[in-house]
A and B are shown apart, each in its own frame.
Chain A
Amino acid sequence: MRLAPFELSQPETVDEVVAALAEADGDACLIAGGTALVPMLRLGLLRPGRVIALHRARDLDRLEARGAALHIGAMATLAAVHRSSVIWSGWPMLAAAAGKVATPAIRSTATIGGNLGYAEAASDLAPALLCLDAEVEVAGPAGQRRLPLSEFFTGFYETALGPGELVTAVGAPAGPPGARGGYIKFCPRSAEDKPLVGVAAMLALDGEGRCRHVRIGLGAAAPTAIRAARAEAGLGGQVLDDAAIQAAADTAAAEADPISDLMGSRDYRRAMVRVWVRRLLSSLRADPDVDRR
């Protein structure tokens, strides 16, 4: 079945994209990889008069270290993120999470900007990026701005993007020295599915074995990807023993606010947050680098 007809624009700079969005005045969709947008067009959930393709816009797929920080252009594919030696060297949990999304034929096409702009609560990237204190770079009619990823997701498939704005890049600072981290996803059906729950965590241990810089990110555990802030605060300063891990898992499950859908009920998701937070923190205790084989 064909997509309903639309006019296609293929601007070559970010400024041209912003101008095209302004001209369309709300009757346009952006297409990056298309892995999320095309199914929505085919199902008739969106019926734009114009689609603005980003694949020709220059510099949007740049992926590099800028000083100690990471810069990933919005059009970088998940395959590129997963292959990047720069990302593996400083932000391995992000490289690993990108390799766990869907299938090779989706990762070759789907982009990091599209993944975040779609604001799927079960995103594999968002929990990892939340743990990495990522920021989103946005361009629009009023120029450029940056905001923390934690402020970017505002609701179920909703973001802080204003009219005529687009995500142009994702940035992340270097993690603290000696940080350990990882991302795990629970897929009860098959490997290429989105997660029933996804859990990312990062922490550093001080000289006395106490947790510092604790980050716990949850996917599919609320209407958006979230940080488990109370669990993080509770674990800070604690020795990473069984009791501290269980308490963090219990707290994370309590602050989760999951939806029910065909994959699982709200109660089941909450129970699985408890299980998978405990499992990830336990693996981080045993192996500081769970994502490297």
Chain B
Amino acid sequence: MSAAIEFTLNGRPCRADAPGHWTILDLLRDGLALLGTKDGCGEGVCGACTVLLDGEPVRACLVLAAQLAGRTLLTIEGVGADAPDPLQDAFAALGAVQCGFCTPGMILAARALLAANPAPDEHEVREALAGNLCRCTGYVKIIEAVMVTAGEIARCASPRSS
């Protein structure tokens, strides 16, 4: 039995039908053909399906689609649609992307961190991304990219000194 769910998806109103046993991940990938959110472990462990629900990171594989009603969802398709987000620029420039499977979840988890804490130290970045597994990079460049982005945000926000 399907039910219509109304929510805000990447800044636009969305109305979608989903059976009660579908997760957000099922709705995104199978219902809406938005394939940027990756299907990794299905148990909330790998972080590849991380999306932002009302600004907070959640695992799309663990949350029922029905729980979207009336809420706001951001997926990787809603990040940098017009021009790349600073995080995306930094990931590309620093080689923090290899196979790319973990990248959408990493970008969204990092975005949530920087929204809550614009000036994290490296330990805070590592803790925020601890649940996002990457099997290629060894994490060094991913952490660096988030730190560089935080530095850019700080430079843009502070008045210029001569």
Q: How many A-B residue pairs have CB under 8 A?
A: 91
- 20 A-B residue pairs with CB within 8 Å: A1-B42, A2-B21, A3-B22, A5-B20, A6-B21, A7-B20, A33-B62, A34-B63, A34-B64, A38-B43, A38-B63, A39-B62, A79-B56, A102-B131, A103-B132, A104-B56, A104-B112, A104-B128, A105-B44, A105-B50
Which chain B residue shows the least CB distance to A104?
B57
Question: Is B90 interfacial (CB-CB < 8 Å)?
Answer: no
Which chain A residue shows the least CB distance to B56?
A108
- Size class of the contact patch on chain A: 20 to 34
- In the complex, which of the residues A2, A3, A53, A104 contacts B109, with contact meaning CB atoms closer than 8 Å? A104
User: Contacts A3-B21, A79-B56, A108-B58: A103 and B47 contacting too (C-beta < 8 A)?
Assistant: yes
Question: Is A106 interfacial (CB-CB < 8 Å)?
Answer: yes
Q: Is the interface of B mostly helix, strand, loop or mixed?
A: mixed
Question: Given known contacts A10-B66, A51-B20, what 20 new A-B pairs fall within 8 Å (CB)?
Answer: A2-B22, A2-B26, A3-B22, A5-B19, A5-B21, A6-B20, A8-B21, A8-B64, A8-B66, A34-B62, A38-B61, A39-B42, A42-B43, A53-B66, A102-B131, A104-B128, A105-B47, A108-B56, A191-B127, A192-B131
* B window 122-162: CB within 8 A of A: 126-128, 130-132
- Size class of the contact patch on chain B: 20 to 34
B88 — which chain A residues lie within 8 A by C-beta? Answer: none
Listed in ascending order, the chain A residues whose CB lies under 8 Å from chain B are: 1-8, 10, 31, 33-35, 38-39, 42-43, 51, 53, 55, 79, 102-106, 108-109, 190-192
